[in-house]
Amino acid sequence: MEYLIANFGAILFYLVAVLAVAGAVGVVTLRSPVHAALALLETFIMVAVLFVLRHAEFLAAVQVLVYAGGIMVLYLFVIMLVRVKNLRPEDAFLSGIAPLAVLGGVLLGALLALGILLGTMAAGAGAGALTAVGEETVGNTEAVGWLLYTKYLVPFEVVSVVLLVAMIGAIVFGRRDAALTGSGEGVEL
């Protein structure tokens, strides 16, 4: 019991990490897109937990709100609403690519791991979630908010524009336009 309490952080981390990896494997491996989407959702939530562990609470919230709540829902909507005739679960993977892709991934992963090993990593000081603004100690959200509107205002505005553009783009793509429609049957969307 003392071990559990003493190393709670580590145990929690490993648990969450394993679950996240499991979810990731599920995304890559599961044949049905719905199953893959759910696995991805699970991974998102685990990642949010990890964010919390690193004292990035605001980001965790954003992660859950945006990713899990928005993006995943969107994916699920599209998956379910797109009725495609020839999408069978057996054809989930591109033929013949798997070995090469795994090799590539492993290779890159190994190389990157090498980088990690080579880098000097001292134990994290663990400070910082509560960053002092002035003399007061504020919460993470406030601290991030302060940065966003002062130091990183321009990127913030630009990102807004990006979002606007994305919206417009999505609308354009979604338009039922004669020029866009091919020979295939349309989809009721």
Partner 1 sequence: MIITATHYVALSLILFCLGLVGVMVRRNFITVLMSLELMFNAVNLNLIAFSYRLDDLAGQVLAIFVITVAAAEVAIGLGLIIALVRLKDTVALDEADVMRS
Partner 2 sequence: MKFYDLIWLVPIFPVLGALINGLVSNRLGLKKSVTNVVAISGSGLAWLLGWVAIGQWAFELGTHTTHVVNLFSWIQGGSLRILDGTLAEINIAASFQLDSVSALMVFFVTLVGFLIHVYSIGYMHDESDRAYARYFSYLNLFMFSMLVLVLGSNLAVMFVGWEGVGLCSYLLIGFYFEKDWCAAAGMKAFIFNRIGDWGFLLAIFATFMVFGTLEFTQIFPVAAEHPDLYAGAATVIGLLLFVGAIGKSAQIPLYVWLPDAMAGPTPVSALIHAATMVTAGVYMVVRCNVIFRLSPTALLVVAIVGGVTAIFAATIGLVQNDIKKVLAYSTVSQLGYMFLGAGVGAFVAAIFHVLTHAFFKACLFLGSGSVIHACSGEQDIRKMGGLKKHMPTTYWTFLAATLAISGIPIFAGFFSKDEILGKAFEAGAGDLNTFGSTYYVLWFLGLAGAVLTAFYMFRLVFVTFHGEFRGGEEAEHHLHESPPSMTMPLVVLGVLSIFGGLVGIPGKLFGHPEWNLVERFLEPAILPIGHAAENAEHVSHHAVSLGLEWGLVILSVAVAFFGIWVAHRFYMGPEAFARPRRLAERFSFAYRLLLNKYWVDEIYAATVIAGTIKLSRFLWEFDARVVDGVVNGTALTTVGSSFISGIFDLKVVDGAVNLVAKSYDVASREFRRLQVGYAEGYAMVMVFGAAILLGVFYLVKL
The residue type at 131 = T
Amino acid present at 15 = L
Tell me the closest approach of the beta carbon of residue 114 to partner 2, in angstroms: 7
Beta bridge partners of 136: 133
Nearer to partner 1, 31 or 135 (CB): 31
Residue 105, CB half-sphere, CA atoms under 13 Å: how many?
A: 7
The item of partner 2, partner 1, none sharing an interface with residue 111, based on CB under 5 to 8 Å by kind, is partner 2
What 3-state DSSP class applies to 137? strand
CB of 135 to partner 1, least distance (A): 17
Q: How many CB atoms are located within 10 Å of the residue 49 CB? A: 20
166 lies in the site for partner 1, by CB under 8 A: yes
CA neighbor of 80 nearest in space, from 134, 32, 39: 32
| Residues within window 73-132 making contact with partner 1, judged by CB under 8 A | 74-75, 78-79, 82, 84-87, 91-95, 97-98, 100-102, 104-106, 108-109, 112-113, 116, 121-129, 131
* Residue 47 in contact with partner 1, rule: CB under 8 A: yes
Q: How far apart are CA 46 and CA 37, in angstroms?
A: 14
The residue ranges that bind partner 2 (CB under 8 A) are: 94, 97, 100-101, 104-105, 107-108, 111-112, 114-115, 118
